[in-house]
Chain A
Amino acid sequence: MATGQVSRRKLLRDGGLAILGTGAALSGGWIAGGTRGAGGILPSASAAAMTPARGGRLRVAQIGDPPTLDIMATTADVTTNDAQGIFESLFTLDGDGNPQPLLASGAQWSSDNLTLTLPLRTNVLFHNGAPMTAADVVASLQRWLKLAPLGQSSASAVKGITAEGSHTVVVQLNRPMGLLPTYIAAPNAMPAIMPRAIVEKYGDKPVQEWIGTGPFMFKEWKHDAYIRLARWDKYAPANQPAGGYGGRRVAYVDEIDIFAVPDANTRLAGMQSGQYDIGFSIPADQYAQVKATPSLSTAILKPDSWFIFSLNKKARMFTNLKLRQAFRKAIDSKPIMEAAFGPQEFWSIASPTIGYLAYEDDKTGADVFNHQDIPGAKALLQEAGYNGTPLVWLTTKNYDWMYKGSLVAKSQLEAVGFKVDLQVLDWATVVQKRAQPEIYEVFQTGMGGAPAIPPAMDAFVSEKWPGFWSNPRKDEAMKKFESSVRLDDRKAAWSEVQRLFYDDVVAVKVGDFYEYYVLQKNVQGFRPLDYPPYWNVWLAK
């Protein structure tokens, strides 16, 4: 549990036009402009109005040690949280979820959209004091293409990456791929730019020397106790306005101590006693206690993810569409969401959407989403000739909401005549078993965010991802989605995916859920993003 590899929390809040440029800096085939605001993800007005103060030690309580600090080598959330202050990519995501240059100083598409020229900033120093050059960038990007999920999904489109001089990198593509800068900008498993020597030394294994270009540098890691970061004094910030992950990054605090505190009650107690400044993953049912503590404030990440029951469509009984439909008709979302997520402030069953922000208003599937129909389910079971074989459900107590949700769903399924074999395993075992189609019917997880960067963003669309959704029409729609540059075309393509998602009963969406962060009131400048950054955070005196 300590590494918290649970839900794929979404990688970003896409503002809609995921492949948009950032205005004048990015010319060529890029379209400018984004329509949607950043919603609740900017610092509050009162915080912004206060004058930031330098100094102090920021103490963070999180659920446990990350599996590694090599941000490129894992998609584990804790790693991204802890290491995104150390490492930086060529782009980052602004408040609308659009890529914004970070270590690159801009980007230039060729007229056929097959060559992307990336000039690099010349004033960037690694934490070991060496200047960042194109050779480091080429080595890092190549490692990312090989190791990271987003890199791997880009790899087939990339013909070559070469250095032109000391501060320009050229990416040659063999098919247009407007999403590439967004992929590069996404924080989770980002193409962190590391010194070439380190990339070459560790190869496919996670690196053990954490040298990046970010505002904070690695200082110390006491396993299962804390990770200590310190301000990198020679940090050269980019100069865009702050928003999302983008804009000018300032390390206000001298040091950050990220403590591994596995017990949620202890994290809360530590927040109440003032031992920690920021508390991660404090369960929703402790929200009332947090609100009752005058020294604490909260920041809600809304919406965060959607709760799904993923159905195995490759083998066993759910290859039969009628049985999948019966499953969906048996489910009533409200009691499940209540059991799993507690107070109504933390969940919603209002929308059938399977993507957020620009895709949030899509009502496709509203006729079947959360429409419990017990007689209908029974009829379908009979029609399909269900013989009473128990359906195997893989669940876990490592994540309380998963267990509680599956427990309530089990009783709903039994009410229509399904037999359910609920197997309670640890999360690592669920992850292993769910990859074996011949042994189970259902598992549950959380899905994140706007469909900006498939297939990693929306794992369920991938045929390889457990659940194993195979449909040529889906593949075609996804191709359109990935290649389209206009938002309307992308929305239309995504709407088609959503229609097929409901037609095929790929999985059952139960509802949307939120997350919150707990802060001491003197913590200012905190942004409740999926991976809340520690830069631009200061401690008011």
Chain B
Amino acid sequence: MTSFIIRRLLSVIPVLFLVAVFAFFLVHLTPGDPAGIMLGPLATPAQIDQLRDALNLNLPLPVQFERWFLKALRGDIGESLFMSIPVPLAIWQRAEPTFLITLMAVLIEVVIGVPAGILAAVRRNTWLDQAAIALTSVGLSVPSFWLALNLIFLFGVHLRVLPVAGYVPLSVSWTGALRSVVMPSFALGFISSALVARMTRSSMLDVLSQDFVRTARSKGVVERAVIWRHALRNAILPVITVVGNTFAILLGGLVVTEQVFAIPGVGQLVINSVLHRDYPVIQGVLLYIVTLYVFINVGMDIVYALVDPRIKFG
């Protein structure tokens, strides 16, 4: 197991290398120019050139790559052109709200999705099943920003029980932090709960029709135990995959949701660094997201093994 984990973690190195090369050339070959953005709409070409010089952007691309790569090998992935802080610090500063929202969203997703899916499977073809399917269809069809705006108008403008937008850091007030992430978490969690519910339902239906379930029932195991201990434990693997993936996707930046709720998280960092052509930040964020994916995948593999003893690591 330990050697498996080490091997999986080591396998990230070539991936990171490829992503680094790819990210560097992708962002530098995209049209647009950080100097032009920094100087504003009235800047003359001479001015832009002057600032590009100061920022070392006029060097030939291979030279820029070499400099960047040699530094990156030493763990220095550069400094934001706009914020003048190291890229990891920029990401770290944004991680808190994104992490909180992701955690809450995944919680909401599981708390709504898994029971709804089980209920639909157990009461297959009843009105409960249909109601659960209808609800999840709504969830899958509604864009998160639309749900977000409606939540804002309901809870922020009409009822005035939650702040419309913005984020209060945990260090300032943990209740403030929770209040500012409730709506974005729900907007995301509700929508992905639809996916979880559907996955749980179909996976449960598969399992419930298998022989061992019939055996359990014929042994006289109570229905509750059949469902929760026997069936669910076998049905849950694909659900874990879905939840793990949404976790990775969400942590990588809740681009739209953070925009709508004006939350200074990783998603906002992604979009603003792209719009500003803040090259070091774009590269850094890409590396961060890839690393995150790898770690979450390794984490999921471990969870598989814990949940299902048949899975062994070679």
Which residues in A have their C-beta under 8 angstroms from that of B75? Answer: none
User: Which residues on B sit within 8 Å (CB–CB) of A273?
Assistant: 156-157, 160, 164
Answer whether residue B62 sits at the interface, using C-beta atoms and an 8 A cutoff.
no
B282 contacts the other chain (CB 8 A): no
Determine whether the beta carbon of A65 is less than 8 Å from that of B272: yes
A76 engages B264 (CB within 8 Å): no
Q: Is B84 an interface residue (CB 8 A)?
A: yes
Instruction: Report B244-262 CB contacts with A as 1/0, cut-off 8 Å.
Output: 0000000000000001111
A75 and B260 contact, CB distance less than 8 A: no
Q: In this assembly, does A426 line the interface, its C-beta being within 8 Å of a C-beta of chain B?
A: yes
On whether the beta carbons of A429 and B31 are closer than 8 Å, the reply is: yes
Binary interface profile of B, 148-176, with partner A (CB < 8 Å = 1, else 0)?
Answer: 01001100110010011111000000000
> Is A74 touching B32 in the complex (CB atoms < 8 A)?
no
Are the CB atoms of B272 and A73 closer together than 8 Å?
no
The stretch of A46-54, A257-265, A489-497, A525-533 in contact with B is A257-265
Q: Is B10 an interface residue (CB 8 A)?
A: no
- Which chain B residue has the least Cβ–Cβ distance from A68? B38
> Interface stretch among A35-43, A218-226, A366-374?
A218-226
Verify B262–A262 contact, CB threshold 8 A.
yes
Question: Scoring B residues 89 to 106 as 1 if CB is less than 8 Å from chain A, else 0, what string do you get?
Answer: 010011000000000000
Question: Chain A contacts of B261 at CB under 8 A?
Answer: 266
How distant is the Cα of A270 from the Cα of B153 in the complex, in angstroms? Answer: 9
- Residues of B within 8 Å of A7, CB to CB, are 41
Nearest CB of chain A from residue B226's CB, rounded to whole Å: 48
- Residue A428 at the chain B interface, CB threshold 8 Å: yes
Minimum CB–CB distance for A155 against chain B, Å: 11
Do A224 and B264 have beta carbons less than 8 Å apart?
yes
**Once bound together, how far apart are the Cα atoms of A225 and B96, in whole Å?**
13
Tell me the chain B residues, 37-70 only, with Cβ under 8 Å from chain A. Answer: 37-47, 50-51, 54-55
Total interface residues on A, using CB and 8 Å? 58
Q: How many residues of B contact A (CB 8 A)?
A: 49
Q: Does B33 contact A (CB under 8 A)?
A: yes
Query: Are B152 and A3 in contact (CB-based, < 8 A)?
Result: no
Interface pair A272/B259, CB less than 8 Å apart: no
Q: Decide: B36 and A428 in contact? CB cutoff 8 A.
A: yes
Q: Which of B106-153 contact A (CB under 8 A)?
A: 149, 152-153
Q: Does A171 contact B (CB under 8 A)?
A: no
* Contact yes or no, B42 A8, CB < 8 A: yes
A428 to B156: give the CA distance in the assembly, Å: 33
A1, A64, A204: which contacts B51 (Cβ < 8 A)? A204
CB-CB < 8 A to B275: which residues of A?
A: 1-3, 426-428
B93 touches A223 (CB 8 A): yes
User: Which residues of chain A come closer than 8 Å to B41, judged between CB atoms?
Assistant: 5-8, 75-76, 431, 445
Q: Are B84 and A208 in contact (CB under 8 A)?
A: yes
* A239 CB within 8 Å of chain B: no
Q: Is B201 an interface residue (CB 8 A)?
A: no
Is A214 engaged at the interface, CB distance under 8 Å to the other chain?
A: no
Judge if B269 is at the interface, Cβ distance under 8 Å. Answer: yes
Q: Which residue of B lies closest to A265 (CB)?
A: B149
**B44-A464 in contact (CB<8A):** yes
Q: Mark B268-293, 1 if CB is under 8 A from A, else 0.
A: 11011001110000000000000000
Check B40 against A428 for contact (C-beta < 8 Å).
no
One of B40, B44, B149 near A74 (C-beta < 8 A): B40
Query: Across the interface, do A5 and B156 meet the contact criterion of CB distance under 8 Å?
Result: no
CB pair A428 B37 closer than 8 Å: yes
Q: Quick check: is B212 within 8 A (CB to CB) of the other chain? A: no
Minimum-distance CB pairs A-B, first 9: A75-B40, A428-B32, A75-B42, A225-B264, A76-B40, A224-B264, A74-B40, A261-B262, A270-B164
Given known contacts A2-B271, A274-B160, A433-B31, what 7 new A-B pairs fall within 8 Å (CB)? A65-B82, A67-B276, A79-B40, A204-B50, A223-B93, A275-B165, A464-B44
A-B contact pairs, 29 of them (CB 8 A): A1-B275, A3-B275, A5-B40, A8-B41, A64-B272, A74-B43, A75-B39, A188-B42, A205-B51, A206-B38, A222-B264, A225-B166, A225-B264, A260-B262, A262-B262, A265-B260, A266-B260, A269-B157, A270-B164, A274-B160, A275-B164, A426-B32, A428-B277, A429-B30, A429-B31, A431-B37, A432-B31, A432-B36, A464-B44
